[in-house]
């Protein structure tokens, strides 16, 4: 019963959302160039089916690649900031400043730096936009480790590496996954930013752009929905990983 509810409730919510959307368009009598309605979408999907598949794949793999980079670099930076006060004091303002730069402005910069390297540029952008939350949360997780946790092992003569592996690393995992959930969506935005602003004919962003240039409005909406679906898939993939590696942090009834 509980399992059924877990699946049925979100599906019902989505159905209600689609019905309201359809009703909104119908009541206002909007033509599809103002706002497409859900009933316009199946036609768009069936007509461009193959483009959707290749586009989704391109968007997906580049997002995941950027995110993987962000995890590696973000964790590394976080570890440096978590263990060294000097590094923390030095890096923090830099990171905050970098994070404050609107990433859309970096698209042409990257495009000029690495001309024609579209896959690389896209992965880079996904990485640049998504590593910050990971670095900060790992850094904070490590630097706020209560001294008693360390003392338990230190009093036994354990090495720093052992303390990190047995205490600091697992204790930071819940914060890490919290940040990763934010980063997943950000990386996704990064990928699409490049695909739309710097057209190179790849990914769902490119499909969106061609919908715009051809005044095919149902196609544009169909791309938006496809993006949403990809985002949901990626997000829940992270949730599944979190359950496996940091499931202990979930309190019953919490």
**Contacts to another protein by CB under 8 A:** 146, 148-149, 151-158, 162, 166-167, 170-171, 173, 246, 248-249, 251-252
Rounded to the nearest whole angstrom, what is the least distance from the CB of residue 141 to another protein in the complex?
13
For another protein, the closer CB: 127 or 176: 176
Please give the DSSP secondary-structure letter assigned to residue 200: -
Q: Token pair for residue 15?
A: 């159905």
Nearer to another protein, 15 or 89 (CB): 89
Instruction: Report the distance separating Cα 116 and Cα 120, nearest Å.
Output: 9
CB of 157 to another protein, least distance (A): 5
Other beta carbons less than 10 A from residue 90's beta carbon: 13
Q: CA 176 to CA 155: how far, in whole Å?
A: 28
The CA distance from 29 to 22, in Å, is 10
- Please classify residue 145 by burial: count the beta carbons closer than 10 Å to its beta carbon, then call 0-12 exposed, 13-18 middle and 19+ buried: middle
Angle among Cα 60, 47, 45 to the nearest 5 degrees reads 45
- Closest contact distance (angstroms) between CB of 177 and another protein is 13
CA distance 203 to 54: 7
Least distance (Å) between residue 252 CB and another protein: 8
Per-residue b or e along 179-202, where b marks 16 or more CB atoms closer than 10 Å to that residue's CB = bbeebbbbbbbbbbbbbbbbebeb
Nearer to another protein, 160 or 201 (CB): 160
Report the nearest approach of another protein to the CB of residue 160 (Å). Answer: 12
> Closer to another protein at the Cβ: 193 or 246?
246
115: left (phi over 0), alpha (psi -120 to 50) or beta: beta
**Min. distance of Cβ 131 from another protein in angstroms?**
25
The minimum distance between CB 158 and another protein, in angstroms, equals 5
For another protein, the closer CB: 88 or 171: 171
Instruction: Report the residue number, 6 or 251, with the smaller CB distance to another protein.
Output: 251
CB-nearer residue toward another protein: 50 or 146 = 146
């Amino acid at each position: 019963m509980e399992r059924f509810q877990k699946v049925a409730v979100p599906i019902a919510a989505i159905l209600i959302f689609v019905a309201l959307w359809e009703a909104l368009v119908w009541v206002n009598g909007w033509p599809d160039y103002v706002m497409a309605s859900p009933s316009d979408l199946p036609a768009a999907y069936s007509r461009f089916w193959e483009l959707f598949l290749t586009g989704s794949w391109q968007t997906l793999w580049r997002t995941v690649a950027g995110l993987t980079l962000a995890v590696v670099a973000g964790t590394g930076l976080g570890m440096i900031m978590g263990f060294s006060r000097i590094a923390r004091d030095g890096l923090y303002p830099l990171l905050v400043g970098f994070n404050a730069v609107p990433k859309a402005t970096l698209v042409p910069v990257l495009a000029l730096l690495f001309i024609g390297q579209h896959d690389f540029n896209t992965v880079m952008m996904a990485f640049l936009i998504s590593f910050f939350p990971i670095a900060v949360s790992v850094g904070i997780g490590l630097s706020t480790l209560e001294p008693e946790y360390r003392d338990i092992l230190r009093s036994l003569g354990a090495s720093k590496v052992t303390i990190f592996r047995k205490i600091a690393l697992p204790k930071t995992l819940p914060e890490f996954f919290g940040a990763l959930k934010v980063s997943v969506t950000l990386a996704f935005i990064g990928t699409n930013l490049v695909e739309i602003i710097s057209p190179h004919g790849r990914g769902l962003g490119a499909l969106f752009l061609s919908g715009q240039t051809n005044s095919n409005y149902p196609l544009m909406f169909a791309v938006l929905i496809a993006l949403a679906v990809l985002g949901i898939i990626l997000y829940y993939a992270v949730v599944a990983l979190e359950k496996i590696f940091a499931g202990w942090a979930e309190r019953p009834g919490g």
